[in-house]
């Protein structure tokens, strides 16, 4: 397949690019290269004959349509999004522009391209919109799990913008017939994760002997999904998903934030002990909770397992150790980001147009 991936220089997007290129698909990666876009995450495939990078904005409908036509695209995987909740609280307008308007522009361009395809390719075409479990809102600690039919109840500007984009994608299917599929994932972790997120921030701070901040009392619960498992799931949804349907993707690994931070401390203490032999758990500090902080997310993955045959392969303990080891061995990737204080420094190179 010839696949256009938006946001392919980000954390999840780069994992999807690497996975599909290794599978032999033709991948065109469209990324604006904002602060979280890092071409060095794609160094392993940047010279592959079936991969090409295009720097551009998903809000640029003319550019998107040109790529779709020139590259003869069979499927779109739309991952480009502003994704950090704290940033959405400080500046929500950027999230509306990228996550909502950008998705609408993508849909408009995809619909034009789709209508121009011959009948057999029109039937096979897919627009896969990748979203989040945060659109469903807050779960009680003993309140079951999110299913694909759970009503939307977003709590933050970020999750509200993703919920809006989900609705627009469904509307394009119902109104215009565009063959869309959607997926809503739980929290991802793994290599190449941007340093401001919980797991990489804790790993890096722990390595440097700095304080390990935890919101509130650390009792908020998330379901953790190893990013490479997620990439495989997204490929299955793109290739086999039924148009108009959505699929929840989770890791079956619920942990409180405090449990995650403590597990990272223990792993670091084993792999790279502090000079004085003290436990990194002593570095944990509790900070004021952020506004609208949902208590718990948990997704029911029965649908994707029963219909597409996917389930997570990576146990959380194994995935976390692999992630910690990766950060220990790849400081050349994260140190420049850390030192630039996320000022938009972008590393690496790729084939551009």
Residue 128 · residue 181 · CB < 8 Å: yes
Residue 222 · residue 110 · CB < 8 Å: no
Choice among 71, 134, 228, 229 that is catalytic = 134
Farthest-apart Cα atoms in the chain, separation: 68
Choice among 31, 133, 228, 254 that is catalytic = 133
End-to-end CA distance of the chain, in Å? 21
- Distance (Å, rounded) from C-alpha 337 to C-alpha 334? 5
> Residue 185's beta-bridge partner residues?
132, 249
- Distance (Å, rounded) from C-alpha 176 to C-alpha 163? 20
Q: Catalytic: 158? A: yes
Two tokens, residue 305: 């397992």
Cα Rg of the chain, angstroms = 20
Choice among 51, 158, 297, 327 that is catalytic = 158
- Distance (Å, rounded) from C-alpha 340 to C-alpha 318? 31
Q: What sign does the dihedral 283-286-292-297 (CA atoms) show? A: positive
Two tokens, residue 337: 């980001």
Residues with catalytic roles: 133-134, 158
């Amino acid at each position: 397949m010839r696949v256009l991936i938006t946001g392919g220089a980000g954390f999840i997007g780069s994992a999807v690019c690497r996975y599909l290129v290794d599978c032999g698909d033709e991948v065109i990666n469209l990324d604006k290269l904002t602060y979280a876009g890092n071409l060095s995450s794609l160094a392993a495939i940047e010279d592959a004959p079936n991969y090409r990078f295009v720097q551009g904005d998903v809000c640029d409908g003319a550019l998107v349509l040109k790529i779709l036509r020139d590259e003869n695209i069979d499927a779109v995987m739309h991952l480009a999004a502003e994704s950090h909740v704290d940033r959405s609280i400080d500046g929500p307008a950027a999230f509306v522009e990228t996550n909502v308007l950008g998705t609408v522009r993508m849909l408009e361009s995809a619909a034009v391209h789709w209508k121009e395809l011959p009948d057999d390719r029109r039937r096979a075409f897919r627009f896969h919109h990748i979203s989040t479990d945060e659109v469903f809102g807050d779960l009680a600690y003993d309140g079951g799990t999110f299913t694909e039919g759970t009503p939307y109840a977003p709590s933050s500007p970020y999750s509200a913008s993703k919920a809006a984009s989900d609705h627009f994608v469904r509307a394009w299917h119902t109104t215009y017939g565009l063959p869309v599929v959607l997926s809503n994932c739980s929290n991802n972790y793994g290599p190449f994760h941007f340093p401001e997120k919980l797991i990489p921030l804790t790993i890096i701070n722990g390595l440097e002997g700095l304080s390990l901040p935890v919101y509130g009392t650390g009792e908020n619960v998330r379901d953790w999904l190893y990013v490479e498992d997620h990439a495989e799931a997204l490929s299955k949804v793109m290739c086999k998903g039924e148009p108009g349907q959505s699929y929840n993707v989770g890791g079956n690994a619920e942990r409180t934030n405090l449990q995650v931070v403590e597990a990272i401390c223990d792993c670091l203490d084993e792999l790279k002990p502090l000079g004085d032999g003290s436990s990194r758990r002593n570095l944990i500090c509790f900070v004021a909770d952020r506004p609208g902080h949902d208590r718990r997310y948990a997704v029911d993955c029965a649908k994707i397992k029963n219909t597409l045959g996917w389930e997570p392969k990576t146990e959380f303990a194994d995935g976390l150790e692999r992630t910690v080891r990766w950060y220990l061995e790849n400081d050349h990737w994260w140190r420049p980001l850390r030192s630039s204080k996320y000022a938009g420094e972008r590393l690496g190179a790729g084939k551009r147009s």
